[in-house]
Chains A and B, each alone.
Chain A
Amino acid sequence: MHMTDSIEIRDLHFSYSDGHTALRGINLTVKPGEKLALVGPNGAGKSTLLLHLNGILQGKGVVRISGLDVVPANLGRVRALVGLVFQSPDDQLFSPTVFDDVAFGPIYQGLPPEEVRRRVDFALAAVHMQDYVHRVSHHLSVGEKKRIAIATVLSMQPEVLVLDEPSAGLDPRARRSLIHLLAELPQTMIVATHDLALVRDLLPRMVVMDHGEVVADDATGRILEQGDLLAEHGLEKP
């Protein structure tokens, strides 16, 4: 049986308005349920690529989510399918309380109040932060903010989870529990990170980017064995 790909990217090019070209012909297919790492040096274009997945940036080429073209007419549906967690949790959280932030997505999906509450409970439980529901978002620590940031998209029950550097700034224990948390989630997952130990433990497939291009795409184990490939793109074996 043929399954629709979760993510399909064909020949994607993108330049920022200042003329800087950040993506040069990206091709990528991700199957439903696949967990994939996006690695590469600073400035490789990882964050830029992720922002294309729910149409925040739109370049030249094709981006499809579950068979749905990411074009202006589809943005509402695409954004319900793709949960994007930004690199900085301060950008992700904009409501006064944790509850308001986690409920934001479901509220603007127009779900009934009972369902909104259920989703918030579920999402906070998934990141083990139930006790924080009435806390003020901007008073939390970086690690707590990260978890809440992830909860804000889990509450939308997306099919694809897109995480930009989820483990940056976490202490070893928080990092460990983040890995457990992500491993438990059934969604298709694409994670941009510099944390190759996290990649090794969590993500079976690895895509290496540099200068806006995909330079390698293979099983994580196989890529981690190629020392010279890693070195060439500023990576170190964990």
Chain B
Amino acid sequence: MSEFEFLDRVTIGQYVPGVSPLHRMDPRARLIAALLLLTAITFAPRPAGLGLALLVVMTLVTLTDLPWRFLLRGLLPPLPFLLFLAVLQVFFNAQENQPPLVAWWGVVQIYASDLIVAGMLVLRFCVLILGISLLSLVTSTSEMIYGVDALLKPLRWLRIPTQDLTMMAQVTLRFIPFMALAAERIVKAQASRGVDWSAKGGNLIKRARRILPLLVPLFVSSLGKAERMALAMDARGYGSTRRRTMMMSTRLMWTDTAAVIACAGLAAAIILL
């Protein structure tokens, strides 16, 4: 893998067709189950719950036959930020310090509780990223639209334009790989004009200084892309009628219901453990 291949490292927003039980689950059930689990992971207060969550996600990944390497790669880009946050957590967490004291230099004291808080932060984000990646890897856009649309249907009653909300969800997902591609292009363009991207090291400020020239054009090109994407949708008649064809209709099977109930149970356990 070259240093420029950003897209390969982005697992959120990509779809891999397949026939696993996860692929075959009703899209609506799949979304509800995912929402339950992801919410539970976000709010799990104790390490045991997070451990269970990790186990659940790993089991699900095994069910899909997706290559682990691919999924784990998705964890790499945010890892530096996570570690940075974790270090901040060690020193500045709001938890009450609990012995044993693990390390100390003068006034700086690190308690075991600090390490646990930091560890949980890293674990929580890793499990979340794995979970979201997994959902998007097994869910095609049409399924996503179908599912989101079905779940939002009650809102239509309140005259909320659910169709546009669904489209927003779709576009957002589509934009993640696009940003990776755009970043890749910009980095290549800059590298070809002599910016040294592979240079490791340097302190944080130096690194930030290297990222800035990437962020500004990335921002500009994303705005431009968003505008042209809107044009392309307009040009093909988006919004010219309120009728939108649903390309799929599915029936909930008892297995779908069972799976959602199981996930609800697991979500409760993740929170309560």
Contact = CB atoms under 8 A, between A and B. Distances in A.
A103 B244 CA distance: 11
A104 B236 CA distance: 7
Given A113-B246, A138-B181, A56 B241 contact: no
Given A108-B240, A152-B236, A116 B247 contact: yes
Interface string A136-163: 1010000000000000110010000000
Contact of A56 (B140, B229, B234): B234
A105 interface: yes
B141 A95 contact: yes
B148 to A, nearest CB: 15
Tier of interface size on chain B: 20 to 34
A210 to B, nearest CB: 25
A95 B174 contact: yes
A107 B174 contact: no
A131 to B, nearest CB: 14
Interface stretch (A4-12, A74-82, A169-177): A74-82
Majority-rule SS of A interface residues? helix
Interface residues of A, number: 36
B241 A110 contact: yes
B15 interface: yes
A224 B46 CA distance: 78
Nearest to A99: B142
A107 B248 CA distance: 12
A108 B238 contact: yes
Nearest to B173: A96
A54 interface: yes
Interface stretch (A86-94, A182-190, A193-201): A86-94
A116 B140 CA distance: 17
A143 to B, nearest CB: 18
Interface in B33-54: none
Interface string B95-117: 00000000000000000000000
26 contacts: A76-B241, A79-B237, A79-B240, A86-B228, A86-B232, A91-B228, A91-B229, A91-B231, A94-B229, A95-B141, A95-B174, A97-B141, A104-B233, A104-B236, A104-B238, A107-B244, A107-B247, A108-B239, A109-B240, A109-B243, A110-B243, A112-B245, A113-B245, A113-B246, A138-B177, A138-B181
Minimum-distance CB pairs A-B, first 10: A76-B240, A110-B243, A105-B236, A91-B228, A79-B237, A107-B245, A94-B229, A84-B235, A96-B141, A108-B237
Interface of B: 13-15, 17, 140-142, 171, 173-174, 177-178, 181, 225, 228-229, 231-241, 243-248
Interface of A: 54, 56, 75-77, 79-80, 84, 86, 91-97, 100, 103-113, 116-117, 134, 136, 138, 152-153, 156
